[in-house]
Amino acid sequence: MNKIGVAAAVCAVAVGAVMLWPSGRKDAVTAGPLTLVDPATAGSVHGTVRFEGTPPAPALIDMSSKPECHALHPGPAPDGKILAKDGRLQNAVVYISAGLEGKRFAVPAEPVAMDQKDCLFSPRVVAVMAGQDLEFVNSDPAQHNVKTAPDPKNSDGFNFTLPRKGARQKTRIARAEVAIRLSCDFHGWMEGWVAVLDHPFFQVTGPDGSFDLKGLPPGDYEVKAWHEALGERSAKIHVDPKGTAEAVLVFVARP
């Protein structure tokens, strides 16, 4: 569920919990009562991430130095960094950046998957909640690894190998951070990003640039869009009980 994370609120209390991450390190997870969102009053934020101007031509990746990848891409492959069509921007992480302070939400049980396919990260950008399983898959007839580069500011980094087609590895990231860069030591052009949020109100935009953040308590918020190459845009919004706030976040082509 990497398009949008909306965790169902449940009535549970976990105090003094300790979670064991795959690295073997124990992270103290400060836990408390979960925030209960009343479905009778919950609202949403709907909108679009737009791109004004002419998108830059993509950088082209030459994979000829790696036969296992060159076989998949006989010619240069576009890097996929800025994907914009008809004024809509793909791969922007849209999330609530202010207004949820002091609230806690259930972490989804379903993992978010990121594939290493055709010697590229696919999708290039994903988003998870802190503590949610993030699963990496190798779908190539080649050895890959997944490495945080540089390491996250707020959590431990990781570096593990997916040695063959079909290999899988799960990990978790302990604390919120937008966003963490991923790379592969065996194929230096490979680049991916994972955004980590401490709530479930986020989405990575698809080709139409739209987003729909559902299940929000009524209130005043800031909604933000982050893009790896274009930076950030934000807007102030108000969500009425059972209401839908509208937001358009616009990035402009750089000269």
Summarised one tens digit per residue, pLDDT across range 107-136 is: 999 999 999 999 999 999 999 999 999 999
How far, CA to CA in Å, does 94 sit from each of 33, 44, 72, 223? 26, 13, 32, 7
Q: Is the pLDDT of residue 198 over 80?
A: yes
**Sequence-separated contacts (24+) of 53-58 with Cβ below 8 Å:** 53/252, 53/253, 54/253, 55/82, 55/83, 55/84, 55/85, 55/253, 56/82, 56/253, 56/254, 58/82
Summarised one tens digit per residue, pLDDT across range 40-81 is: 999 999 999 999 999 999 999 999 999 999 999 989 999 999
Quick one: which of 195, 225, 227 has its CA closest to 213? Answer: 225
First-residue to last-residue Cα distance in the chain: 36
The mean per-residue pLDDT over the stretch 241-254 comes to 96
DSSP secondary structure of 74-123: SS-EE--S--EETTEE-S-EEEEEES-TT---PPPSSPEEEEEETTEEES
What CATH number corresponds to the domain at position 193?
A: 2.60.40.420
State the pLDDT at residue 32: 78
Q: For residue 87, what are the domain limits? A: 4-252
In contact, 37 and 213? CB cutoff 8 Å = no
Query: What are 54's two structure tokens?
Result: 């002419």
State the pLDDT at residue 23: 38
Banded model confidence at residue 3, pLDDT cuts 50, 70, 90: very low
Q: Is the pLDDT of residue 37 over 80?
A: yes
Summarised one tens digit per residue, pLDDT across range 73-92 is: 989 999 999 999 999 999 99
Percent of the chain past pLDDT 70, that is, above it, reads 88
Summarised one tens digit per residue, pLDDT across range 6-31 is: 333 333 323 222 233 343 333 434 56
Domains held by the chain: number = 1
Summarised one tens digit per residue, pLDDT across range 199-247 is: 999 999 999 999 999 999 999 999 999 999 999 999 999 999 999 999 9
Q: What is the pTM of this model?
A: 0.86
State the pLDDT at residue 31: 65
How far, CA to CA in Å, does 121 sit from each of 32, 192, 204? 35, 6, 15
- Higher per-residue confidence, 18 vs 101: 101
The mean per-residue pLDDT over the stretch 174-181 comes to 97
The mean per-residue pLDDT over the stretch 148-176 comes to 95
